[in-house]
Amino acid sequence: MSTKTGFRTTKIRTKLILSQILIALIPFVLVGIVGIIFSVREARKNVNQRTSQIVTQVSQTLDTYMEDLDKLVLAVSDEISDANLSEAREIDANKVNKTMKNIMRRYDEIAGILYAYSDDRYISTGISRISRDSFEKEKWYKMALEEPDSSHMISTVTGRNIATDVGYSVDDVFSIVKAVKNRITGEPEGVLLMDVGHSIISAAIEVSQHGGEGFVFVLDEENRMVYTPINPVVYRIRPEWLVDDNKLITVDIGSSRYMIRFKTSEKTGWKTVSVISYEEIMGDINRMIGIYTAILLATLLLVQYLSLKVSDNITRPIKRLRDLMMETDDGNLSNRFESDSQDEIADLGMSFNHMIDRIRELLERVRQEEDLKRKAELKIVQEQFKPHFLYNTLDTINWMAREHGAKDIVSLVDALTNVFRISLSHGNSFITLKDEIHYISSYLYVQKTRYEDKLLFDIDADEDCLQILVPKLILQPLVENAIYHGIKLKRGTGHINISVHRVEDSICMTVEDDGKGMDENTRQYLCELLNAGERPESVSADDNQSFGLFYVKERLQQRYKNGYRVEVSSTLDVGSRISIFIKNNNT
């Protein structure tokens, strides 16, 4: 026996247990492969987002600091420009020097401020001149004069003839310089220099959180170091790695791997670089994998236990439902499936109960239909017996009436004979509309003889419709219904109009009277009776009206299937009209 065939013949309970254990084992393979890949990708994605946030935050903070410093430089340069216009220059120079000192007291990160006049004089706070070399030879002085309308950032301060008064080394500060122009002539008349300590950079970096080996440093636009914490790795990072500031790069430095991300400031052109140890990230992933493994092992044990419980709960009602079906197959229709749950199996059980109810209902209906059929067959036999006997008797009466010259009796007997002759029609179930109209005409003549002036009738039929075959006596129950439930109940003379015409692609046979009419409930009942797909339960063989109309519908449905329709219209105390439409291609 093959594995496939063996699994098909296995019990549902065993299949459930094996399937649940197999499903529980799948994470060992999937999580072991997909989980690690996903975790590494997510970790890399998180690191990318984290480093991007860090470098963006640090860069934005530095830009904010630089904007504030730029505003300070502009404010001091404006005050110097005003002082240069004053006649009491010594007094205003002292005022400028006082402003410089106030700024340094308010901003701890400012190491010193110096203003160098074009005549080589200078005002300073916190900065001293080292040599008597002219300021015009200084790189920072030349840079400010080359672009007098802008402030300039100088990342390295080595090789100057000035130095800060406090213990700042050249590696602890950077400078901002700006030319001061004459307000009247617009020509530069000096340069303002401000030394700023790296504390503003370190303060911005301290808000970021890195691992034990992670750090942030700053490069200027020429990839020279502006600020870096003490770290042996930073000077081994190559500038050519820092090309795309939208990309997280992974590099090997020595025996370690690092992930680097940077952002270039649009204001200063400086690069804020974040470095994170790859081993630290993988350490978190390894711990995560260990947790996954422990959870999966615990889950596997739990699934093995729960699979036994769950499979029993599922298969027990299925087994009970199977046993009930086997008993039903043996003919026991009294079984019922009972369940306290509301799951799919309970739905199946309810469907089983509904099926049993329907079977019992259908069996009962079949019994009733057979009983009704037997009654109808008996009635047909009786009706066939009566016309044969009466037909022969009427021939004798007709001969005797002719002998005595009773013409009225002869006409009546002829009409009645036609009625019985057509009703027999040699056992045929279908006759032409011409014979049907002849039958109705004879039938109404007999009824008019009985009711005299109370009944008048009219028959109108198109010639091209008369040779169409229709079920025998299809109109007689409608005419009889019009007489006994319409004209008979009316005071005075009643009229019945019978018409047969073509209406578009259908043949329309209509029986209309001006008798008592029907209320809406009765009209609705007759409409349902003549158009319903199944026999309404209210129809019985003892109800002549309903029974006759029902079998009109039965013969129409048997002959034309869905190719017919019946319309019933009636108004109480006005009259009724019943029209039968049959498709022309069904005739």
Q: Domain segments of the chain: what residues?
A: 10-322, 428-586
pLDDT given for residue 547 in this prediction? 63
CATH of 10-322, one of 3.30.56.10, 3.30.450.20, 3.40.50.620, 3.40.50.1100: 3.30.450.20
Phi then psi for 159, rounded to 5 degrees?
80, 20
Amino acid 3: pLDDT = 52
Q: Which helix (H) or strand (E) holds 580?
A: strand 575-583
| CA-closest candidate to residue 250, choices 280, 289, 213, 278 | 278
Higher pLDDT, 207 or 122: 122
Q: Is the pLDDT of residue 537 over 70?
A: no
CB-based contact 138:161 (threshold 8 Å): yes
pLDDT tens sequence across 40-49? 777 777 777 7
- The listed range with the strongest mean pLDDT (105-109, 143-147, 225-229, 532-536) is 143-147
Contacts 24+ apart (CB under 8 A), 5-9: none
Return d(Cα 136, Cα 333) in angstroms, integer: 116
How far apart (Å, rounded) are the C-alpha atoms in residues 568 and 343? 48
Residue 38, pLDDT above cutoff 60: yes
- The DSSP line for 387-402 is HHHHHHHHHHHHHHHH
User: How many angstroms from the chain centroid is the CA of residue 392?
Assistant: 79
486-504 mean pLDDT: 90
Per mean pLDDT, which of 135-144, 293-302, 402-411, 548-557 is the most reliable? 135-144
Element holding 190 (H helix, E strand): strand 188-197
Over 90: is that where the pLDDT of 577 sits? Answer: yes
Q: Is 75's pLDDT higher than 90?
A: no
pLDDT digits (tens, 9 = 90+) for 257-299: 888 889 888 888 888 888 888 777 777 777 777 777 777 778 7
Q: Beta strand pairing status for 469-471 and 506-513? A: unpaired
Indicate the average pLDDT of the chain: 79
How much is the average pLDDT of 522-533?
Answer: 80
Q: Strand (E) positions, 254-399?
A: 256-264, 271-277
Instruction: Tell the residue number behind the tokens 């009733």, with chain if given.
Output: 368
Confidence of residue 385 (pLDDT cuts 50, 70, 90): very low
- What pLDDT sits at residue 461? 92
CB-based contacts of 104: which residues, under 8 Å, 6+ apart?
A: 110, 112, 113, 125, 126
With 70 as the cut, is the pLDDT of residue 379 above it?
Answer: no
The reported pLDDT for the residue numbered 107 is 84
* Ranges 163-167, 320-324, 559-563: which has the least confidence: 320-324
Whether residue 94 has pLDDT greater than 60: yes
Integer Cα distance of 417 and 397 in angstroms: 11
Query: pTM surpassing 0.75?
Result: no
Cα torsion 510, 515, 516, 518 to 10°: value is: 10
The span from the CA of 173 to the CA of 195, in Å, is 6
* CB atoms closer than 10 angstroms to residue 22: 10
Top CATH class of 428-586 equals alpha beta
Q: 225 pLDDT exceeds 50?
A: yes
93 or 132, which is more confident: 132
What distances in angstroms separate CA 307 from CA 26, 257, 299, one per listed residue?
Answer: 15, 46, 12
pLDDT of residue 442: 84
Q: How many angstroms separate the CA atoms of 400 and 68, rounded?
A: 139
pLDDT > 70 in the chain, percent: 83
pLDDT tens digit sequence for 350-365: 887 888 888 888 888 8
